[in-house]
Amino acid sequence: MEVTDIGNKEEGKVWHRKPTPGKGVLVTVVRTAQQAKAVRFLHVAFDTTGDTFLAGDHHGNIYVFDISRNRFRLVQKTGQACTALAFSLRRTTEFLVALADNTIKCFDKDTKQLVSWMRGHEGAVSSISVHSSGRYAISTSLDTAQLWDLDTFQRKRKLNIKQSVGIQRVFFLPLSNTILSCFSDDSIFAWESDTLFCKYQLPVPDCGPKISYKAFAVTRDGKSLAAGGRSNLLHLWCLDSRQLVRVIQMPTQVRTVRQLEFLPDSFDGGASQTLGVLSQDGMMRFINIHTCKLLFHMGSHDNAITTVTVSPNGRHVVAIMDNGSINVYSVQSLTQELNKPPPSQVAVVSGSDADQELSNLKVKVRSEVVQRPAKSSGRRTQVKILRPPAGSTAEDKENELPAGLNKKRLVALLKAFGEYPAKYRMFVWRSLLCLPENHASYSSLTDKGLHSAYLTLHDKYPIKSHKLQRGLQRVLSALAHWAAIFGEVEYLPLIAFPFVKLFQNNPMLCFEVVATVIVNWCQHWFEYFPNPPLNILSMAENVLAHHDKELLQHLVDCGITSQLYVWPLLETLFSEVLTRDEWLRLFDSIFSNHPSFLLMACVAYITCCREPLLLCSQKQDFEYFFHHRNNLDVAAMIKEAYRLMGSTPADIHPRTMLSDFTPLTKGQYPVFNHYPEFIVEYQSREREKIRLQEMEYLRERQEVSAMRADFVRRQAEEEACYAQQELLQKAEEQRRNILAQEEEKLTQQRAKLAAMKRELKVKEIQLLDATRSRFFKNQQDLKASQIQELEQEISRKMDLRERETAAAVQDLEVRQMELEAQRKRLEQHLLKEQVRMGQEVEKEVGMRMRRADREQGSCTDLLHSSQANMQALEESLAEACQLGLESDWQREVAERLQQVDAEQERKRERLAELHRRTLAEEERLADTVRDVAGRKWDEVMSARAQLQEQQRPLTSEDADGQRQTRPLCLTRGLPLRHSASAAVSVGTSTGGPTARLNCATSPKQAGTNMVCLNSSSPSESTSTNFSLDRGRAQLDSSERELLKEIRELRQKLLARANEGSSASSQSVHALSSVSQ
């Protein structure tokens, strides 16, 4: 056993000497740090190929070990211990590692880069299970399990449980979308991974002791589950029927099961039968779950195993030992039980010396259930007469095959069933071909790398599967390194491809199968190289001529040679004309018979297709026929081949010219030199020469390309320089244009801003004008309303005067009538009436005086109220003008000065015109009043003259009465004279002709008129007119004073308006100078 100490190396070889076949432990890997202190490995994980595994140590270093290439490499330093490892199936270079900080990281083993970092667990992650598609992964800790999407590295779901129930393990079932969750209470649930719908729950066993499941294992087909725990009992569940099918009891040394692992096999179809059980004693025992037989074990009490990982292909087992080292085991070297063939389906009764009498006994042997084709499913029992051999056992020894098989029995089975069981076909082929499995020799061939002849294989034979492409390239390169001719044979990929497709998971077996086919069934093929094997083709043509001359003659007549109807079948080994199942059935018979059976199969194919071939006459039809699949019964073709093998004469039988089957030698592959070496060497030299010329040409071309690239680079640099300069110039010009545009934009913005300011100012001025116009309009309306009110007041007073005048006239008329009545009564009651009349006159005079006083008081009050209103109006007008001046000082602008001046001039003109109109109206009103007063006064005077004329005839009659009453009149003459003087003053104020007449009247005449009481009483009429005209004179004087005050107010308003316009113009000039 070789021990490899990787130490602080980042890469190197796993072993320095090839492990000797037969040893169980291939190599032991340890890692020692400084001061010879060993560093423990904690976890390992295999990739899907089974040739590479990851290993993480206690220091956080992750290593990749490639067993097939004998290399290891340090891919990551995490800095902390790992708790679980897993490969990402979709991206083969990525792997997942769970760390001690409860996080999961994804790294790339080639680039050593961190791909993603997944957080979410609160406890240490104990296991990571990746779905078969590689898209999802499940990480499990003691308290939770989380489902991750490996495309986005995001958490999709989280499984939370009660604190009292812990999670043992959650993992994906192989080849399905089912998630299996196992809990500490021995309950097992199955979930649908897409919808997370619970599909079923396995029943918890009621009978027997409680196992407390700790370890679980599932077969590759996902149909069987093994569970174990704190007991030596194992439960085997069938997941299809969801039933406990078996309870296996381990030896008494096993008290606790730590880990369970199924050991896969290439020929079990995924239904693994070997189960590895790691117990508390550090030993892993492998048992057969059907026979419950212990097959082999690993580890010991002194060298205990901690954990085990089995490769997917079942070839290697990697165990971490109790001391922290890694042991790599070879399963093939550990046991021979797995390599034994399945039990024979035919029971054989052999005789002995003691019972020779049983030699002629008929024995009925019922075979076990065998999977057979549909056509032979009706057979149930085979009855054979088995006789013991009479002679020596030399023939039996010749038919004995490796792994306990017998060729004669296999051929009998093949003839009976038409094919080998698909489950054991590869195993039977390995036994029939006696493959040596020379690992060392094959490794020496593969270590040489890819052959130069197959470097561009994908160009000529493009294959969609990269894995299949690489496998074919690897096998062809190994064949070319084994024999030089195989690097020159153009049809070799056609021969090897079907075997590569069958053995794509085991390239060594594929190589040995192809090599065995070439050595035995391709005998004499390369003697005429590079031409087709004419000798082999002639053998087939001779057989066809013997069995079907008509068909051969038809082919000759059509100009079709054996190179067209035999060689296409041979160079592709029927892979072009048969399906996979038909090809497998055919090669079951080919590998079970003499190498000449292949030629017989070609002739049988041609004879079985004779009818369509006889209908063909064109060469293209024959070419198409032998390169495409046709409707053919393979069973009939194989039967025909057997018939040809038995009925062909010995002189033309290919058996006489072809050697018997010869297997490959063990240890080293045989030398293959059955070809014209000089041609191959010549072609090799020519190819080498061509290769050297190509290399020289490529070198020169590379130099020319380099020079051209240099020239192009320089030209590109110059062009780039020129382009850069042009770009710089364009950029500079563009920048200048941009600056100019920006300046223009700035200028435009400034102009727009100035325009906006002007517009705002204009709007302000317009608003001011509108406000001012509204103010002036309001003032005009107010003044007009005041004038209208004054006119209404004047008209009201004129109406009042007219009413008073009419009332006075009526009073005079009534008084005249009363005087007439009094005059008639005075004659009888003169004395009595004188006193009463004096009293009445006094009362009348007092009443008239009081009325005049009241009228004078009302006129005075009216005058005072109008003065107060005018004073308030003047004050409000002054205040409004002051506010208008302040607002005009702030808002007016220079552009509107002329308009303002013009507007003010127009307003002044309108005011002057209004003033003139007012004055004219006032003059007209005054004239009208004077005319009305003059007319009234004339009427009064005419009425007075008529009264005087009527009173003159009565003067003489009343002389005595007047003398008697003169003292009384004289005593009362003072107030009458006062009234006359007042009447004179009123008449003077009115300016009528009556006034002049009154002024011209002598005092004596007035006194004479006033003394006579029997006359028409001019004194009383005079007093009456005096009392009425006094109020009218006062009213006229108040009106004149009011009009005079209105004129003065208007003049003041005009003066103030002129002062405000001059001040506003000065402020506007000042604002314009400041803005400039």
Query: pLDDT tens digits for 664-723?
Result: 888 888 888 766 665 666 666 676 777 778 778 878 888 888 888 888 888 888 888 888
**Local confidence band at 53 (pLDDT 50, 70, 90 cut-offs):** very high
If you write DSSP's letter for every residue of 703-741 in order, what string do you get? HHHHHHHHHHHHHHHHHHHHHHHHHHHHHHHHHHHHHHH
Residue 351: per-residue pLDDT: 40
Task: Categorize the per-residue pLDDT at 892 as very low, low, confident or very high, splitting at 50, 70 and 90.
Answer: low
pLDDT (0 to 100) of residue 1036: 66
Identify the band that residue 309 occupies on the pLDDT scale cut at 50, 70 and 90. Answer: very high
Indicate if the pLDDT at residue 276 is higher than 80: yes
pLDDT (tens digit, 9 = 90+) per residue, 1016-1070? 443 343 333 434 455 556 666 766 777 787 778 777 777 776 776 565 555 545 4
Give alpha helix (H) positions in 827-896. Answer: 830-891
Kindly report which listed range (116-120, 236-240, 406-410) carries the lowest average pLDDT score: 406-410
Q: What percent of the chain has pLDDT over 90?
A: 12
CA–CA distance, 1050 with 1038 (Å, rounded to integer)? 18
Query: What CA–CA distance (Å, rounded) separates 502 from 583?
Result: 11
Q: What is the pLDDT of residue 279?
A: 92
Confidence of residue 398 (pLDDT cuts 50, 70, 90): low
pLDDT in tens, 719-736: 888 888 888 888 888 888
Tens-digit pLDDT profile for residues 751-783: 888 888 888 888 888 888 888 888 888 888 888
CB of 674 closer than 8 Å to CB of 485: no
Tokens 């052999």 locate to: 350
pLDDT at 862 over 60: yes
| CA dist 770 → 755, 766, 781, 1056, 1059 (Å) | 21, 6, 16, 20, 20
Alpha carbon separation from 452 to 276, 449, 465, 689 (Å, rounded): 45, 9, 21, 13
Reply yes or no on whether the pLDDT at 832 is more than 50.
Answer: yes
Question: Tokens representing 919?
Answer: 């004055």
Per-residue pLDDT of 527-552, as tens digits, reads 777 788 888 889 999 999 998 899 99
The per-residue pLDDT for 768 is: 87
pLDDT at 382: 35
Cα 776 from Cα 772, distance rounded (Å): 6
CA torsion sign for 799, 805, 808, 812 is: negative
- Amino acid 326: pLDDT: 92
> From CA 823, how far away is CA 951, in angstroms rounded?
11
Q: Which residues pair with 319 in a beta bridge?
A: 308, 327
pLDDT recorded at residue 404? 61
Provide mean pLDDT across the span 952-956. 59
pLDDT value at 264 more than 80: yes
CA distance 695 to 687: 12
Cα(654)–Cα(522) distance, integer angstroms: 12
Collect all residues with Cβ–Cβ distance below 8 Å to 200 and sequence separation of at least 6.
189, 190, 242
21 touches 333 (CB < 8 A): yes
Q: Which helix (H) or strand (E) holds 105?
A: strand 104-108
Per-residue confidence (pLDDT) for residue 668, from 0 to 100: 84
Share of the chain above pLDDT 70, in %: 79
CA 751/CA 749 separation, integer angstroms: 5
Q: How confident is the model at residue 894 (pLDDT cuts 50, 70, 90)?
A: low
Separation of alpha carbons 388 and 351, rounded Å: 5
Q: Is 631 exposed, middle or buried (0-12, 13-18, 19+ CB in 10 A)?
A: exposed
Pick the residue with more confidence: 102 or 1048? 102
Residue 958, both tokens: 């009343």
Supply the pLDDT for residue 62. Answer: 93
What average pLDDT does range 106-113 have in this prediction?
88
Q: What is the CA radius of gyration of the chain?
A: 71
Instruction: Tell whether the model's pLDDT for residue 97 goes beyond 90.
Output: yes
Rounded mean pLDDT, 873-898: 68
pLDDT at position 600 is 92
Instruction: Assess whether pLDDT exceeds 60 at residue 350.
Output: no
Q: What is the pLDDT of residues 571-602, one digit of tens each?
A: 898 998 999 999 999 999 998 999 999 999 99
Tell me the mean pLDDT in the region 501-517: 89
Euclidean distance between CA atoms 68 and 320, whole angstroms: 20
What is the per-residue pLDDT for 208?
67
Residue 133 pLDDT exceeds 90: no
Q: What is the dihedral of CA 360, 361, 362, 364, to 10 degrees?
A: -140
Look at strands 316-321 and 326-330 and give their pairing: antiparallel
Q: What is the pLDDT of residues 17-27, one digit of tens each?
A: 777 766 778 88
Mean residue pLDDT of the chain comes to: 78
pLDDT at 232 over 90: no
Cis peptide before 975 (omega within 30 of 0): no
Place 986 in a pLDDT band, splitting at 50, 70 and 90: very low
pLDDT given at position 44: 93
Q: What is the pLDDT of residue 308?
A: 93
Q: What is the pLDDT of residues 987-1014, one digit of tens each?
A: 333 334 333 333 333 333 333 344 333 4
φ, ψ at 86 (rounded to 5°): -165, 145
Dihedral of alpha carbons 936, 937, 940, 945, sign: negative
pLDDT digits 0-9 by tens, 416-465: 888 888 888 888 888 888 888 888 888 888 888 888 888 888 888 888 88
Query: Which among 260, 256, 253 is positioned nearest to 211, based on CA atoms?
Result: 256
Q: Which residues pair with 400 in a beta bridge?
A: 406
Q: What is the mean pLDDT of residues 294-318?
A: 88
Write the CA distances from 182 to 83, 276, 724, 768, integer angstroms: 19, 20, 69, 92
